[in-house]
């Protein structure tokens, strides 16, 4: 039996769980269920990342100790996952003793081997930011966020010889082209590795930060948070919270699930750390894109954060999982908005799967009471059988190559073909003719069989809903691999004689009035009412402005710029501060009024945007703005204009 080990990033406890965290965590849950159903032994770990400077800062604000603060937020993550039925095996915290001891043992090993050295570092330290700032970040010598001159600090620290492993890492990536998926992230890492790697500073002096794991070879220092955090993936299975060591069974099947924000730390820091510690490399790094919060026109202020438990109460978390896994092409970014979510739910689940079930089950209940016995299939069912065999055949490959949206779309193709078949066969007419009982049984069984198979295939995506449907249809075989996937999905294996009471409403339709009411309630609950935007309820089309000549137009020089840094601006309600590479000697600082539309500014990193490059620089309250990035907007929506393909920083846009 194959052993597979899935991990999510361990989340920082300086924010409560939101939809981005939910996606990766639900992804691990879905994969665990899929691999179990198809016969693997699976272990799934998630957890929280609790050290670092920010945590100390957040705890001070609440006047509690860092540990108390971490306990509180870590609990929030764990209880959220419990509330929404995430089937994790272990929840690791970097403050767990088992983890601390493991980190220290690895540090000792790496140090004794000579891969850690002591060196002095000089930099400009901003206490407000609690980090070193680069010269390009300063404006008039000051930190733009805090308007203070950073302290020149000469700090001695420990460094990990990451550069020593650069060539071995490149070789590993080239020899294992599927190791980082999708392939464009592999290419991104390889292209980064064309530059010489610098060594990694892995300590912080206790004089500045006490909250961390003490270095085993120098008690005046704590471990840098990433060197500590990444090791959770191993510490958690070397000693599980039950006290078992399952490393030998699961490590070789380790599959890390992350979003692209932490690609570099996972594809470079982590494998070089493993090489130095002489631990075999993990098996796979699966990298997904970002969920963006496009605001729904149904709500003015709910756009930015969706609390998983609030969402669950009102719309059902499994319906959200369905949407997320169908909508996101693995590796690309996707946008969430309520309109689209409701549209997909109504068309696929309420009108699709739900309707197919209630139509057929209702007629069975009325005409047979119980599921009728098998009747030989005819050429009428040929199309359905063909689609069934294709999609069941492709299902495993789609899951294993992380093409979840394809696997789900396939199920919907089968459902809509069956819907057409039912409409054509008109079972309600057959029911009126006592001589056509067999024909009626065949058609209704076929409709219900598609519902059964669909529920099996969708069970990793929506386990509770699928389970309830299977229970209702009398399909009681477990989905944990004890019955083979082939048997579970074989056509026409619906049990006869199962009593079908009037079907419950598995997927009641959401009508717009009901949705508006729910959104209002959620708005009250989440108290995220924004004071900064007052978007109109109805769409106003901007009139076209006065005509200009081509010469006027050509005065504006548009260029491609790559966003290399993106920050919130303290005290500014709408602004993000972006550092944009225009292919010039230094990147430019641009302030953009897009904060309310980008939940996490990191989402913008690496985006190639359109910049009006020859605007006169503007001195703003927060610093100099040296250009303008272009964005589309309407109602309360906004999207920055970006380039795909081979556009490079500095390219002319004409
Ligand atoms: O980076 N879309 O923690 P973190 C999709 N502690 N996924 C998102 C997302 C979004 N908008 N926002 C967050 C850390 N995520 C470190 C990790 S691991 C050794 C240490 C998810 O709390 C996604 O999985 O910032 C992303 O990689 C992760 O949360 C970042 O979580």
Q: What are the domain boundaries of the chain?
A: 3-288, 312-489, 550-643
Query: Do the beta carbons of residue 330 and residue 403 sit within 8 Å?
Result: yes
CA 567 / ligand 1 centre spacing (Å)? 16
Instruction: List the one residue out of 461, 449, 446 whose CA is nearest residue 488.
Output: 449
pLDDT cut 70: percent of the chain above it: 93
Distance of CA 439 to the CA centre of its chain: 47
Query: To test ligand 1's pocket by mutation, which of 81, 234, 262 has the most ligand atoms within 8 angstroms of CB?
Result: 262
- Tell me: pLDDT of 407 over 90: yes
* Count of C-beta atoms within a 10 Å radius of residue 390: 13
Cβ-proximal residues to 562 (8 Å cutoff; 6+ apart), any chain: 580, 581, 606, 607, 608, 609, 649
Closest Cα partner for 465 from 23, 22, 33, 21?
Answer: 33
Residue 434 has pLDDT above 70, yes or no: yes
With bands split at pLDDT 50, 70 and 90, how would you rate the model's confidence at 619? confident
- pLDDT at residue 531 is higher than 80: no
- Strand pairing class (3-7; 41-49): parallel
Whether 61 is catalytic: no
Q: Whose CA is nearest to atom 19 of ligand 1?
A: 230
Query: Which CATH superfamily does the domain covering 312-489 fall into?
Result: Isoleucyl-tRNA Synthetase; Domain 1 (1.10.730.10)
The CA 47 to ligand 1 mean position distance, Å, reads 12
How many of the other CB atoms lie within 10 Å of CB of 634?
A: 13
Both structure tokens of 392: 């069941």
The reply to whether 21 belongs to the active site is: yes
Q: Does the pLDDT value for residue 540 go beyond 70?
A: no
pLDDT (0 to 100) of residue 304: 54
Is any ligand 1 atom within 6 A of the Cβ of residue 291? yes
Segment among 12-21, 93-102, 425-434 with least mean pLDDT: 12-21
The model's confidence at residue 343, banded by pLDDT at 50, 70 and 90, is very high
- Among 301-305, 387-391, 454-458, 595-599, where is mean pLDDT lowest? 301-305
The ligand 1 atom at the shortest distance from the C-alpha of residue 262 is 27
- Does residue 10 have its Cβ closer than 6 Å to ligand 1? yes
Own/partner contacts of 58-61, CB < 8 Å, gap of 24 or more, are 58/14
HEC string of 462-473 equals: CHHHHHHHHHHC
Q: Which of 6, 7, 9 to mutate to test the pocket of ligand 1 (most atoms within 8 A of CB)?
A: 9
Three-class DSSP category at 545: coil
Task: Report whether 276 contacts 113 (CB < 8 A).
Answer: yes
Tell whether domain 3-288 is in CATH 3.40.50.620: yes
By C-alpha distance, which of 412, 415, 417, 416 is closest to 380?
A: 417
Architecture category of domain 550-643 in CATH: Beta Barrel (2.40)
Chain centre distance of CA 441: 44
b/e per residue 571-591 (b: at least 16 CB within 10 A): ebeebbbbbbbbeeeebbbbb
CA-closest residue to ligand 1 atom 8: 20
Bridging pattern class, strands 254-259 and 637-640 = unpaired
Write down the H helix ranges in 244-381.
247-250, 263-264, 270-277, 308-315, 317-327, 338-344, 355-367
User: Span 124-153, mean pLDDT?
Assistant: 76
Q: Which residues contact 205 (CB under 8 A, 6 or more apart)?
A: 155, 156, 157, 220, 221
CA distances from 391 to 35, 84, 328, 471, 487 (A): 17, 29, 19, 23, 15
**Nearest-CA residue for atom 30 of ligand 1:** 11
Instruction: Examine the pLDDT at 160 and tell me if it is beyond 90.
Output: yes
In percent, how much of the chain has pLDDT > 90? 68
- Starting at the earlier edge strand, list the strands of the sheet with 214-215: 203-205, 218-223, 214-215
For the residues 495-504, what does the mean pLDDT come to? 92
Please give the structure tokens belonging to residue 453. 């198979």
Measured in angstroms, how far is the CA atom of residue 78 from the centroid of ligand 1?
15
Q: What values do phi and psi take at 61, rounded to 5?
A: -60, -35
Look at residues 487, 490, 485, 402 and name the one whose alpha carbon lies nearest to residue 38: 485
Q: Quick check: is 388 catalytic?
A: no
Global confidence as pTM: 0.79
Confidence of residue 552 (pLDDT cuts 50, 70, 90): confident
Query: Each residue of 470-485: pLDDT tens digit?
Result: 999 999 999 999 999 9
Q: Is the pLDDT of residue 537 over 70?
A: no
Compute the mean pLDDT over every residue in the chain, rounded to the nearest whole number: 89
Please choose, from the candidates 389, 351, 376, the residue with its C-alpha nearest in 3D space to the C-alpha of residue 445: 376
**Residue with CA at minimum distance from ligand 1 atom 14:** 11
pLDDT of residue 366: 93
pLDDT reported for residue 526: 61
Q: Which atom of ligand 1 is nearest the CA belonging to 599?
A: 11
* Amino acid 575: pLDDT: 86
Query: How far, in Å, is the centroid of ligand 1 from the Cα of 612?
Result: 32
The CA-based angle 389-393-396, given to 5 degrees, is 145
Q: Which of 102-106, 499-503, 552-556 has the lowest mean pLDDT?
A: 552-556
Instruction: Count CB neighbours of 296 within 10 A.
Output: 21
pLDDT over 50 (residue 385): yes
- CA 574 – ligand 1 centroid, Å: 23
Ligand 1 contact via 236 beta carbon (within 6 Å): no
Asked if residue 261 has its Cβ within 6 Å of ligand 1, the reply is: yes
Q: Average pLDDT for residues 619-633, to the nearest whole number?
A: 85
């Amino acid at each position: 039996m194959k052993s597979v080990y899935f991990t999510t990033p361990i989340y920082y406890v300086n924010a409560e769980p939101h939809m981005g965290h939910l996606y990766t965590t639900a992804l691990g849950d879905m994969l665990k269920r899929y691999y179990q159903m198809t016969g693997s032994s699976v272990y799934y770990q998630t957890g929280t990342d609790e050290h670092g400077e920010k945590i100390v800062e957040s705890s001070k604000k609440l006047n509690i100790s860092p540990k108390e603060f971490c306990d509180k937020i870590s609990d929030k993550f764990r209880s959220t996952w419990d509330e929404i039925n995430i089937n994790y095996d272990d929840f690791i915290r970097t403050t767990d003793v088992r983890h601390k001891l493991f980190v220290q043992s690895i540090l000792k090993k790496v140090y004794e081997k000579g891969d850690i050295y002591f060196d002095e570092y000089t930099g400009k330290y901003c206490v407000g930011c609690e980090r070193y700032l680069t010269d390009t970040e300063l404006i008039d010598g000051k930190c733009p966020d805090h308007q203070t001159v950073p302290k020149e600090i000469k700090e001695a620290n420990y460094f990990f010889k990451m550069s020593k492993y650069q060539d071995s890492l490149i070789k590993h990536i080239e020899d294992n082209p599927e190791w980082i998926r999708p392939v464009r992230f592999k290419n991104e890492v390889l292209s980064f590795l064309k530059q010489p790697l610098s060594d990694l500073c892995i300590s912080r002096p206790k004089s500045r930060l006490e909250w961390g794991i003490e270095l085993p070879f120098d008690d005046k220092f704590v471990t840098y948070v990433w060197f500590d955090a990444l090791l959770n993936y191993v510490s958690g299975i070397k000693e599980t919270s039950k006290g078992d060591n399952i490393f030998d069974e699961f490590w070789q099947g380790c599959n890390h699930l992350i979003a692209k924000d932490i690609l570099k730390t996972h594809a470079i820091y982590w494998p070089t750390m493993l090489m130095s510690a002489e631990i075999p490399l993990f098996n796979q790094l699966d990298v997904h894109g970002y969920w963006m919060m496009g605001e729904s026109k149904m709500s003015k202020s709910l756009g930015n954060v969706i609390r998983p438990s609030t969402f669950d109460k009102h719309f059902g978390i499994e319906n959200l999982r369905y949407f997320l896994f169908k909508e996101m092409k693995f590796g690309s970014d996707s946008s969430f908005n309520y309109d689209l979510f409701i549209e997909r739910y109504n068309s696929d689940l309420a009108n699709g799967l739900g309707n197919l079930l209630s139509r057929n089950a209702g007629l069975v209940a009325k005409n047979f009471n119980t599921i009728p016995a098998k009747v030989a299939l005819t050429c009428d069912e040929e199309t359905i059988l063909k689609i069934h065999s294709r999609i069941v055949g492709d299902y495993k490959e789609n899951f294993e190559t992380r093409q979840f949206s394809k696997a789900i779309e396939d199920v919907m193709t089968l459902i809509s073909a069956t819907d057409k078949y039912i409409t054509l066969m008109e079972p309600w007419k057959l029911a009126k003719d006592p001589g056509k009982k067999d024909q009626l049984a065949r058609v209704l069984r076929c409709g219900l069989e598609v519902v059964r198979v669909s529920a099996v295939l969708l069970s990793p995506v929506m386990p509770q809903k699928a389970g309830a449907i299977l229970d209702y249809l009398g399909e009681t075989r477990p989905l944990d691999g004890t019955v083979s996937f082939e048997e579970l999905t074989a056509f026409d294996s619906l049990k006869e004689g199962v009593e079908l009471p009037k079907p419950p409403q598995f997927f009641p339709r959401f009508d717009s009035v009901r949705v508006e009411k729910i959104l209002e309630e959620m708005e009250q609950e989440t108290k995220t009412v924004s004071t900064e935007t007052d978007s109109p309820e109805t769409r106003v089309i901007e009139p076209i402005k006065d005509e200009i000549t081509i010469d006027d137009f050509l005065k504006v020089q548009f260029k491609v710029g790559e966003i290399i840094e993106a920050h919130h601006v303290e005290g500014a309600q709408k602004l993000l501060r972006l550092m944009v590479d225009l292919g010039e000697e230094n990147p430019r600082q641009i302030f953009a009024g897009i904060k309310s539309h980008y939940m996490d500014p990191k989402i913008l990193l690496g985006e190639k945007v359109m910049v009006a490059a020859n605007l006169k620089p503007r001195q703003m309250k927060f610093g100099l703005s040296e250009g303008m990035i272009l964005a589309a907007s309407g109602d309360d929506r906004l999207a920055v204009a970006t380039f795909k393909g081979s556009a490079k920083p500095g390219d002319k846009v004409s």
